Structure 1
Amino acid sequence: MKRNCSVTPAQLGGLYASLCAVSLGVAGFLWSQGAMLVLPFAVLELVAVGAAFLVYARHAADSERIRLLDGRLVVEQETAGRVKRSEFVRDWVQIEPHGGDGLMIEVRGGGQTVRLGRFLRPELRPVLVREIRQALRGA
């Protein structure tokens, strides 16, 4: 399961570069015409937009991966480039909806708990719970 992003980080970088070129071009022209404060404010604006784009780009590749490997349920969660991996023994794992109304999916076993489903629509989370339970029984 991945985050639904309409713009990739590379596309965002291209958009930001073109925004910088246009904004600094206009600000440079106005600065040459005597409007001295336009250029510093344009630079400040571009720094703020760049920071927002950077935050977006860091989380654009966030994902959750669920796999059955050698009798284990393996859950990998990637957030801002960091991967958290949790392994559960297939026979001892419990899969439950957490928080009612299908808010999140809770995977428990062996003293650890992981919550899944950040990137799924709430109405699809019960379907995922059924599919994981089926895979655990049939594996």
Structure 2
Amino acid sequence: MDATDLLTDSEPVLRDWLMKRNCSVSPRQFVCFYMSLAAFSLLIALVLVLRGAWLVLPFTGIDLLAVGVAFAIYARHAVDYERIRLFPNRLVVEQVSAERVTQFEFNPRWVRIEPGATPRDRIKLMSRGETITIGLHLAQYRRAQFAAELRMWLRRC
């Protein structure tokens, strides 16, 4: 437990929003699927090699390598999220992308919220010359609703 955990434990959280990527497959299911795909592909390739089609094996390896790289890229971002916590005297925005954690802290009384001009645009938080965008993992139709909800909670501080 580090110092920031102690601070957040002693300070009451007024509201906590967690926005995650929409992933329907768990990492364990993902690995099981890839292993079964690899086993099935290698089994077919070995049968064909035994029948004399030896060129199938290298292409199966290339295919499995390409699929493995694509799966690794996907899995790297599968647990990305944004977490926004509102405390009585601060607003903390934590963004995790590919195991890179970025944390911003604002005074909730000074934060200005600007929803995007179109539903595709992300929400902007501005405070004292600093601007960040949030709402990457929100569905487009929910961004305006979330901006209004966040604005309402910030007025309570």
TM-score category, normalised to shorter length? over 0.9
Corresponding residue of 2:130: 112
User: Gaps (5+ residues) in structure 1?
Assistant: none
CA distance in 1, matches of 2:29, 2:99: 18
Aligned: 1:126 with 2:150: no
For 1:19-98, list aligned pairs within 5 A: 19-98=37-116
Work out whether residues 67 and 75 of structure 1, in 8 Å CA contact, stay in contact via their aligned partners in 2: yes
CA distance in 2, matches of 1:11, 1:4: 15
Corresponding residue of 2:118: 101
Corresponding residue of 2:14: none
> Matched residue pairs, number?
138
CA distance in 2, matches of 1:123, 1:50: 33
CA distance in 1, matches of 2:125, 2:113: 5
Q: Which has the higher contact order (CA 8 A, sep 6+)?
A: 2
Work out whether residues 2 and 62 of structure 1, in 8 Å CA contact, stay in contact via their aligned partners in 2: yes
Structure 2 length-normalised TM: 0.84
Alpha-carbon distance, 1:69 to partner = 2.4
Structure 1 length-normalised TM: 0.94
The AA in structure 2 aligned to 1:34 is G
For residues 86-123 of structure 1, the C-alpha deviation after alignment (integer angstroms, 9 at most, x for no partner) is 1111111111113x123210001133211111111222
For residues 43-97 of structure 1, the C-alpha deviation after alignment (integer angstroms, 9 at most, x for no partner) is 0000000000001101111111111124111111111111110111111111111
**Range moving further from structure 2, 64-73 or 18-27:** 64-73
Alpha-carbon distance, 1:136 to partner = 0.9
Aligned: 1:6 with 2:6: no
| Runs of 4+ with deviation above 2 angstroms | none
User: Could you say what the CA RMSD is over the residues aligned between the two structures, in angstroms?
Assistant: 1.1
Alpha-carbon distance, 1:138 to partner = 1.2
CA distance in 2, matches of 1:30, 1:41: 12
Sequence identity, in percent?
49
The AA in structure 2 aligned to 1:105 is I
